[in-house]
Amino acid sequence: MNSDANWLGQAQQFQGELTQRWQQALQSFQQAGEGAGALPGLGFAPDKLKALQEAYVREATELWNQGLTGNPLSGDKRFANDAWSRNPVAAFSAAVYLLNARTLLGLAEATDADPKTKARLRFAVEQWMAASAPSNFMALNAEAQQKAIESKGESIAKGMQNLLADIQQGHVSMTDESAFEVGRNVATTEGAVVFENELFQLIEYKPLTKQVHERPFLFIPPCINKFYILDLQPENSLIRYVVEQGHRTFVVSWRNPDASLDGKTWDDYIEDAAIKAISVVQDITGARQINALGFCVGGTILGTALSVLAARGEKPVASATFLTALLDFGDTGILDLFIDENFVKFREMQMGQGGMLKGQELASTFSFLRPNDLVWNYVVGNYLKGETPPPFDLLYWNSDSTNLPGPMYAWYLRNTYLENNLIKPGKCTVAGQKVDLGKLDLPVYIYGSREDHIVPITGAYGSTRHLPGKKRFVMGASGHIAGVINPPAKNKRSYWTNDKLPKSHEEWLKGAKEHPGSWWPDWAAWLKGHAGKQVAAPKSYGKGVKYKAIEAAPGRYVKVKA
């Protein structure tokens, strides 16, 4: 009884210290913003704080009682190995850590603040707790200690080698990068570069059918990543799938910018890249209209380019597909935490007139959106356990980062994430034209992934409210990449359809029907209806001297490292 009483006293004292430290942190956070009016007053909701205190004492008591009779176990995968349960001290430290993590997150929720400030506090706590987990430290990680003993110290030596190698390459290894080479075992669909300028190369792919549809097809991938996410391996290549469906296929391969491009603007990317690519595909194929797809930021670029062309009275694209893309930036999910007027002004001062956003900075930002899965998991495996992560083509691509020109990036931040100007008719002037999505009366296929943390499903659905043409919206399972790269042969996951398009995604989902497997065949059937009649497949790349084959796909640009 005395030990229980002592424990209760210690638990209450520690909980009080947690609250006091959190209040001090809030005061510092508030003082940092005073004078600029950047932050509102912060405090705790008394009822929530009281409930949190009671819950902490209750759970701490239960934890102590469990600790007296056995090892407390956790469903958290970081502590799932038997080595944790066999070591009472390690198991108890993990359980205490998880209790404290829940308490700190509860304190963030109990804070009286506007939703964005509260979300930022929650994000900061999540980052701190992810970094401070006992699994991240050799002195506390029972599994890493056991491996060191069993390997007679070899795992520690290997971990040090991995750490030095990662320091040398400038990022934490998520996969065995030596197992892949662009053009050898990723990005292998046969084709040739038929045009290039300082911003992109245009790749034409070799037909795999005797006949092709008369309207060619153009992929515009995101410029913040390499295009070969769409062409990883033959069995999961969306590009190869489109070619197999009988489409004469082209893709924009963005140049990885260096100092020579540090003054390029959003206008340049629209006029000299997206619009130019559309025009070149028309010239090569002789088609009056083409079909086009924009993926992620590529979708924002495609939508902007089509608006510029519509303002000029031109309609060279017969149908458009938007994959996990934002046109309406009213809901940007977790990325909204980083964007406010002060942040955008800082970026504009830093690189708005020239400069470069380094690819590694972008990659780190996206990784820390899921720190346990994309950062600390590899820190523990690579360095504490001395493991080499297995080969995985998607994670190799994820580590192959790209730079962005500063002026282009600064314009994008202000006009999309901060001010959401693309959906305001006439608000933006791009390439000399007023942007108005309401003029895009072409048929569109809009795809969003249900668990996407970069383009929330509600954000993807938002495009349906601004595009006046005939629309089809489809939702796939999983996240930003895994939901898109879901080939039919794997028969994995599922997708949802609903021919009606109510105002909100929530209403749409109530009437949606789930289908097993990949959404690709649904899209292929839709695209076929806009692709025109069958014509003989071309026997050579490009067209004449003007658009002759420059080099074999995937070309030089995609191989340039950031």
Judging by DSSP bridges, how do beta strands 217-220 and 249-254 pair with one another?
A: parallel
DSSP 287-348: -S-EEEEEETHHHHHHHHHHHHHHHTT---EEEEEEES--S-TT--GGGGGG--HHHHHHHH
The partner residues of 473 in beta bridges, in order of sequence, read 446
Residue with tokens 């007023």: 434
Hey, what are 177's tokens?
A: 């990068």
H or E stretch covering 108: helix 88-110
Distance CA 335, CA 296 (A): 14
Cβ within 8 Å of residue 369, ≥6 positions away: 334, 335, 453, 454
The residue with tokens 């658009």 is 547
Distance of CA 364 to the CA centre of its chain: 11
Distance CA 562, CA 171 (A): 12
Q: Concatenate the DSSP letters of all residues of 66-106 into one string.
A: HHHHS------GGG-SHHHHH-HHHHHHHHHHHHHHHHHHH
Q: b or e along 38-60 (b: 16 or more beta carbons within 10 Å of the residue's beta carbon)?
A: ebeebebeeeebeebbeebeebb
* Residue 175 CB burial class (10 angstroms; 0-12, 13-18, ≥19): buried
- The DSSP letter of residue 429 is E
State the first-to-last Cα distance of the chain, in angstroms, to the nearest integer: 63
Active site residue 296: yes
Three-state secondary structure call for residue 203: strand
Amino acid at 253: S
Q: CA 156 from chain center: how many Å?
A: 33
Q: Count other C-beta atoms under 10 Å from residue 217's C-beta.
A: 27
Marked catalytic residue, from 125, 296, 320, 430 = 296
Q: CA Rg, the chain, in Å?
A: 26
Please report how many Cα atoms fall inside a 13 Å half-sphere around the Cα of residue 486, on the Cβ side: 27
How far is the CA of 520 from the CAs of 40, 236, 475, 477, 502, in angstroms?
47, 11, 11, 13, 24
As annotated, the active-site residues are: 296
